Amino acid sequence: MEEWLTRPAADLGRDIEAGRLSPQDLAETYLEAIERHEFRDRIYVRLTKDRARAEAAAATDRAKRGLRHSPLDGVPISWKDLYDTAGVATESGSALLSGRVPDRDAEVLTKATEAGLVCLGKTHQTELAFSGLGLNPVTASPPCVNDHGAVSGGSSSGAGTSVAFGLAAAGIGSDTGGSVRIPSVWNDLVGLKTRHGRLSLEGVVPLCARFDTVGPLCRTVEDAALMFAALENGRPADLTGASLSGVRLGILRTVAMEAVEEVPSAAFESAVNRLAAAGAVVEEIDVPAVAEAMPLSGTLFPAEAYATWRERIEAEGEKMYPPVRTRFLQGKTIGAADFISAWRELDCLRLVYREAVAGFDAVILPTCPILPPKIEAVTQDEAHFTERNLKALRNTRIGNLMGLAAVTLPSGTPSCGVTFQGDSEERLLRIAAAAEAALR
Do the Cβ atoms of 141 and 134 come closer than 8 Å? yes
- Residue 285: give its domain's CATH number: 3.90.1300.10
The pTM assigned to this predicted structure is 0.98
Are residues 223 and 185 part of one domain? yes
Are residues 289 and 225 part of one domain? no
- Which residues, listed in sequence order, are joined to residue 175 by a DSSP beta bridge? none
Are residues 181 and 123 part of one domain? yes
Q: Is 3 exposed, middle or buried (0-12, 13-18, 19+ CB in 10 A)?
A: exposed
Question: Comparing C-alpha atoms, which of 273, 290, 172, 149 is closest to residue 226?
Answer: 172
Are residues 276 and 182 part of one domain? no
Instruction: Please say which residue of 204, 232, 260 terminates a domain.
Output: 232
**Predicted local confidence at residue 216, as pLDDT:** 99
**Predicted local confidence at residue 171, as pLDDT:** 99
C-alpha to C-alpha distance for 398 and 291, rounded to whole angstroms: 9
Are residues 143 and 62 part of one domain? yes
Residue 147 CA, distance from chain mean position? 19
Task: Tell me whether residue 122 is in a domain.
Answer: yes
Angle between helices 297-316 and 322-329 (to 10 degrees): 120
Do the Cβ atoms of 180 and 193 come closer than 8 Å? yes
Task: Tell me whether residue 104 is in a domain.
Answer: yes
Task: Tell me whether residue 238 is in a domain.
Answer: no
Are residues 260 and 124 part of one domain? no
Per annotation, catalytic residue among 22, 70, 78, 80: 80
pLDDT tens, per residue, the chain with 440 residues = 789 999 999 999 999 999 999 999 999 999 999 999 999 999 999 999 999 999 999 999 999 999 999 999 999 999 999 999 999 999 999 999 999 999 999 999 999 999 999 999 999 999 999 999 999 999 999 999 999 999 999 999 999 999 999 999 999 999 999 999 999 999 999 999 999 999 999 999 999 999 999 999 999 999 999 999 999 999 999 999 999 999 999 999 999 999 999 999 999 999 999 999 999 999 999 999 999 999 999 999 999 999 999 999 999 999 999 999 999 999 999 999 999 999 999 999 999 999 999 999 999 999 999 999 999 999 999 999 999 999 999 999 999 999 999 999 999 999 999 999 999 999 999 999 999 999 98
Are residues 422 and 398 part of one domain? yes
**Predicted local confidence at residue 313, as pLDDT:** 98
Do the Cβ atoms of 138 and 321 come closer than 8 Å? yes
- Which residues, listed in sequence order, are joined to residue 363 by a DSSP beta bridge? 250, 421
Question: Comparing C-alpha atoms, which of 423, 431, 89 is closest to residue 241?
Answer: 431
Angle between helices 221-232 and 425-439 (to 10 degrees): 160
**Predicted local confidence at residue 1, as pLDDT:** 78
Are residues 110 and 160 part of one domain? yes
Are residues 266 and 204 part of one domain? no
Question: Comparing C-alpha atoms, which of 210, 205, 179, 170 is closest to residue 83?
Answer: 205
**Predicted local confidence at residue 23, as pLDDT:** 98
Q: Which domain holds residue 182?
A: 2-232
Are residues 118 and 60 part of one domain? yes
C-alpha to C-alpha distance for 399 and 421, rounded to whole angstroms: 7
Buried residues in 313-334 as b, exposed as e (16+ CB within 10 A): beeeeebbbebbbebbbebeeb
C-alpha to C-alpha distance for 170 and 163, rounded to whole angstroms: 6
The total domain count for the chain is 2
Task: Tell me whether residue 310 is in a domain.
Answer: no
The question of whether 184 is a catalytic residue gets the answer no
Task: Tell me whether residue 434 is in a domain.
Answer: yes
Are residues 347 and 252 part of one domain? yes
Instruction: Please say which residue of 200, 232, 264 terminates a domain.
Output: 232
C-alpha to C-alpha distance for 71 and 362, rounded to whole angstroms: 28
Per annotation, catalytic residue among 92, 94, 162, 179: 179
Task: Tell me whether residue 337 is in a domain.
Answer: no
The question of whether 179 is a catalytic residue gets the answer yes
Are residues 127 and 25 part of one domain? yes
Task: Tell me whether residue 383 is in a domain.
Answer: yes
Task: Tell me whether residue 240 is in a domain.
Answer: no
Per annotation, catalytic residue among 22, 94, 152, 155: 155
C-alpha to C-alpha distance for 188 and 219, rounded to whole angstroms: 8
CA angle 260, 265, 274 (to 5 degrees): 150
Instruction: Please say which residue of 184, 201, 232 terminates a domain.
Output: 232
